[in-house]
């Protein structure tokens, strides 16, 4: 069976690896990298350190406005599909790469399989929410990580082709978590003690493109008495430099560092006291690692992490964020909500038997 897999952003590189390993045992996979993430620290390093197969196509789309970027992807993906004539197209998550892959395949009447189907934040101001909804409604196979995702699809009238398989990021976290503890030296390199810091990430446009929001978050970081390690997304770093907001954290305990690879990031997550993030994937990784997560958003597509008590939403309320940094301390162990670590196997089996 010939399968085109479409990826373009850091989380998709991570999600695709365990599935690719299963698919390639008995199928031909054609890996297409749209180039949505093109900075070396957001792209190449993941392929190198995780052993992700080299892309058969790198479309080099790069950055741009939502419409411009998606249009370039759509045109280039269509050309690949016309040339390769695959039996199915496999897409991941909720990025513009996901949307473009889904639309290109659906319009060519090629079956679409969506990993992480059924997620909903119920906030259509988020571009990712639009991407998820459209991708799900044109997909033929919908691989859901949780029962909540299955229920979301049912509420939208989608029941055919829906499979509850668990979460591929849990597969990856199990596989690479032990490796990270054994091999990563990022704590030594950054002179950090285990459980001696908070870890922060900010990349969503609602925070990076809204100067008031970003300012409030940085002010909270700066006023905290904890060391905060902040691997800065290239887009966020550009905003900080162009607006002068980086001056807010000068002299504070906030430490700006370049983005790190997946192995090093897992080590940072596993050893953090708390994680502050607007990333969906990082919310889950915090949950897997039993590290309290403070989400810098009003909504989340991973409602299970909030309902379980290990994640709390604060958006950009500076006072609430400082309060939760000081007081949010879940007890016990997170429930097993994201499958048994074999989601990739189930996806490969179902996809190749369709």
Closest CA to 339 of 133, 171, 134, 152: 171
First to last CA, the chain: 10
CA diameter of the chain: 58
- The answer to whether residue 114 is catalytic is no
- Do 141 and 114 contact (CB within 8 A), yes or no? yes
- Do 98 and 89 contact (CB within 8 A), yes or no? no
280-288 vs 168-183: helix axis angle to the nearest 10? 60
HSE at residue 28, side-chain half, CA atoms within 13 A, is: 8
- Torsion over CA: 144, 147, 148, 152 (sign): positive
Provide long-range contacts, Cβ within 8 A and 24+ apart, for 187-195: 187/267, 187/268, 187/271, 190/229, 190/255, 190/257, 192/227, 192/229, 192/268, 192/271, 194/271, 195/271, 195/272, 195/273
Set 33, 37, 114, 203: catalytic member: 203
- Going by their DSSP bridges, the two strands 293-295 and 2-7 should be labelled as unpaired
User: Which residue numbers are catalytic?
Assistant: 203
């Amino acid at each position: 069976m010939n399968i085109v897999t479409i990826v373009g952003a850091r989380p998709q590189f991570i999600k695709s690896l365990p599935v690719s390993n299963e698919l390639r045992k008995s199928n031909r996979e054609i890996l297409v990298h749209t180039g949505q993430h093109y900075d070396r620290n957001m792209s190449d390093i993941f392929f190198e350190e995780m052993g992700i197969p080299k892309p058969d196509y790198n479309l080099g789309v790069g950055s741009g406005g939502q419409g411009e970027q998606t249009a370039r992807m759509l045109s280039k993906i269509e050309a690949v599909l016309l040339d390769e004539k695959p039996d199915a197209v496999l897409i991941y998550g909720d990025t513009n790469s996901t949307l473009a892959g889904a639309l290109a395949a659906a319009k060519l009447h090629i079956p679409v399989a969506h990993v992480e189907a059924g997620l909903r934040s119920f906030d259509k101001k988020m571009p990712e929410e639009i991407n998820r909804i459209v991708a799900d409604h044109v997909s033929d196979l919908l691989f859901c990580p949780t029962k909540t995702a299955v229920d979301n699809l049912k509420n939208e009238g989608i029941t055919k082709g829906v499979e509850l398989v668990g979460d591929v990021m849990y597969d990856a976290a199990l596989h690479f978590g032990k490796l990270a503890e054994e091999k990563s030296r990022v704590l030594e390199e950054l002179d950090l003690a285990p459980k001696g810091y908070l870890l922060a990430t900010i990349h969503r446009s609602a925070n990076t493109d809204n100067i008031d929001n970003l300012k409030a978050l940085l002010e909270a970081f700066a006023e905290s008495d904890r060391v905060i390690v902040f691997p800065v997304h290239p887009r966020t770093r550009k905003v900080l430099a162009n607006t002068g907001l980086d001056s807010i954290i000068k002299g504070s305990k906030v430490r700006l560092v370049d983005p790190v690879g997946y192995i090093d990031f897992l080590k940072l997550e596993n050893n953090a006291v708390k994680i502050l993030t607007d990333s969906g994937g990082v919310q889950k990784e915090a949950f897997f690692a039993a590290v309290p997560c403070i989400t810098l958003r009003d909504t989340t597509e991973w409602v299970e992490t909030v309902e379980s008590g290990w994640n709390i939403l604060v958006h950009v309320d500076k006072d609430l964020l400082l309060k939760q940094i000081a007081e949010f301390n879940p007890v016990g162990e997170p429930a097993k909500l994201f499958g048994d670590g074999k989601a990739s196997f189930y996806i490969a089996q179902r996809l190749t038997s369709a």
